């Protein structure tokens, strides 16, 4: 499993939201590039960048910052406002190695098929879960789709990378939400897809608990607030995922 440091951008700054609530924001770095440099120096392999303004407006708003981060030479996974082919093309042209789509997977599955046909496994589908259903529109709206059902439907369209977020614990440091993971992993494993988990990581022990589950599809974990608060470093977290070898 790979540890993905999160860089959530709002108003040009790095922030963290609690449970996806735009009214519960904690500011961190004034410049996203500073955070990216720090995580790279701590041996991050992939940076998970989220354009929060784009997620809310429906189109990317910080591709200039994405370009600067990508120029550091670290792999970038970008989400937020990527709801049409032009937005995804712009994100990849700005240097993102992977583009995360969430709302489009629910509202326009044919678009996802087209994107996968054009870009293969550079396309990641977000399964942002709240109350057992997938949230869309910057997590401001609730769909009727269950995460495992959406994963199955998107896998049938060729998607092989998925991001599962438990919104209820996201940004809380209260630990990962493990109850729903086995069901999602079972579907991902059956179709040969990779799953990245996000939400609630607050300690090294949380990472060890995830690793100990032994889920076949789980290929990564996104960590935000715990890194910004210095609870552990990227390399310490990666060592925990590697079994502290």
Catalytic residue among 31, 64, 108, 128: 128
Residue 206 falls in the annotated catalytic set: no
Whether residue 205 lies in the annotated active site: no
**Please, what is the Cα angle at 54 between 146 and 42, to 5 degrees?**
85
CA distance 162 to 6: 16
| Residue among 8, 53, 185, 206 flagged as catalytic | 8
3-state secondary structure the chain: CEEEEEEEEECCEEEEEECCEEEEEEECCCCHHHHHHHHHHCCCCEEEEEEHHHHHHCCCCCHHHHHHHHCCCCEEEEECCCCCHHHHHHHHHCCCCEEEECHHHHHCHHHHHHHHHHHHHHEEEEEEEECCEEEECCCCEECCCCHHHHHHHHHCCCCCEEEEEECCCCCCCCCCCCCCHHHHHHHHHHHCCEEEEECCCCCHHHHHHHHHCCCCCEEEEEECHHHHCCCCCHHHHHHHHCCCC
Annotated active-site positions, please? Answer: 8, 128
């Amino acid at each position: 499993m790979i540890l993905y440091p999160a860089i959530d951008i709002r108003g040009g700054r790095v922030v963290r939201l609690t449970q996806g609530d735009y009214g519960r924001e904690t500011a961190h770095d004034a410049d996203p590039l500073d955070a990216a440099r720090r995580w790279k120096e701590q041996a991050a392999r992939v940076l998970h960048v989220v354009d929060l303004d784009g997620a809310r407006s429906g189109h990317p708003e910080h591709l200039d910052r994405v370009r600067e981060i990508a120029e550091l030479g670290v792999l970038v996974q970008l989400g937020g406002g990527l709801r049409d082919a032009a937005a995804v093309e712009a994100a990849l042209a700005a240097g993102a190695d992977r583009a995360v789509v969430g709302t489009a997977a629910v509202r326009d599955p044919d678009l996802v098929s087209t994107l996968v046909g054009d870009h293969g496994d550079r396309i990641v589908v977000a399964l942002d879960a709240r109350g057992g259903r997938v949230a869309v529109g910057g997590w401001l709206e609730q769909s009727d789709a269950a995460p495992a059902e959406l994963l199955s439907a998107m896998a049938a369209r060729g998607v092989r990378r998925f991001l599962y977020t438990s919104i209820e614990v996201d940004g809380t440091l209260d630990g990962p939400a493990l109850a729903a993971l086995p069901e999602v992993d079972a579907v991902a494993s059956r179709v040969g897809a990779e799953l990245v988990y996000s939400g609630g990581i607050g300690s090294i022990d949380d990472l060890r608990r995830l690793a100990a589950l032994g889920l076949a599809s789980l290929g990564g974990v996104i960590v935000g607030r715990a890194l910004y608060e210095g609870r552990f470093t990227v390399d310490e977290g990666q060592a925990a995922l590697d079994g502290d070898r």
